[in-house]
Chain A
Amino acid sequence: MYDRRRRRAFPRRKVCRFCADSKLKIDYKDAKQLKYFITERGKIIPRRISGNCARHQRQVTLAVKRARHIALMPYTTIQPH
């Protein structure tokens, strides 16, 4: 059920969107863009779901981790306080 919901929210793409459009940049400062690659809980979406190629998934992952570090993105949506 969990799986089905995620698949519907992020349908599989045949082509990595960054390979398809070279104008798309992966930037840790662009939280709006990176939001496509995390779940509602803030977890990074695996590339089998997002459709990213290995190279761009690595770049997305690095960007999300940087964005998290500088508080542009959440580590988790459950606030610990």
Chain B
Amino acid sequence: MRQYETLFIVNPDSSEEDLKAVATKIKGVVSGMNGIVTSYDEQGKKKLAYSVKKQNKGYYVLMDYVGSADIVSEIERNMRLDDRVLKYLTVKLADEVDPESIEPAKSEPPEETESVETPEEEAQPPEAEESAKEES
């Protein structure tokens, strides 16, 4: 079991019902893949730093969940196909999570691994752990 969080942007024109529908659908994907949603935080409408799909604002939603590795691609596939979701970013928070200890978690700094919609310049620094000892 791994712990992930996905931050995604929902179209600002969405109604309350739309937001609820997105929540139900995405949570359903997680549970359908035997994952557990540990928190689902609708952070409200925010201004975007640059326009995404012609939109300058969006509802930010942060979802924390625990599940197997293939859960992420399934969630992202669903978000890609859903016109209400403008953009998403998934970050792995922990490699091994004890299923017993699952509770709504306030996360520590995320690890280096992540899965993004566009792999662009997000070169992952795998040397972070080793070279971390140099300083301090």
- CB of B110 closer than 8 Å to a CB of A: yes
**Across the interface, which residues of A come within 8 angstroms of B109, CB to CB?**
25-27, 59
User: Size range of the interface on A?
Assistant: 20 to 34
A69 and B116 form a contact (CB under 8 A): yes
Interface flags for B110-136 (1: CB within 8 Å of A; 0: not) read 101010111011100100100110111
Contact of A66 among B52, B91, B131 (CB under 8 A): B91
Most buried by B among A29, A71, A79: A71
Question: Which applies to chain A's interface (DSSP): helix, strand, loop or mixed?
Answer: loop
Q: How far is the CB of A7 from chain B (nearest CB, A)?
A: 23
Interface flags for B1-14 (1: CB within 8 Å of A; 0: not) read 00000011100000
For A31, give the chain B residue with the smallest CB separation.
B49
B50 and A54 form a contact (CB under 8 A): no
With A27-B109, A71-B9, A74-B49 known as contacts, the answer to whether A55 contacts B125 (CB < 8 A) is no
**Across the interface, which residues of A come within 8 angstroms of B135, CB to CB?**
19, 53-55
**Across the interface, which residues of A come within 8 angstroms of B62, CB to CB?**
29
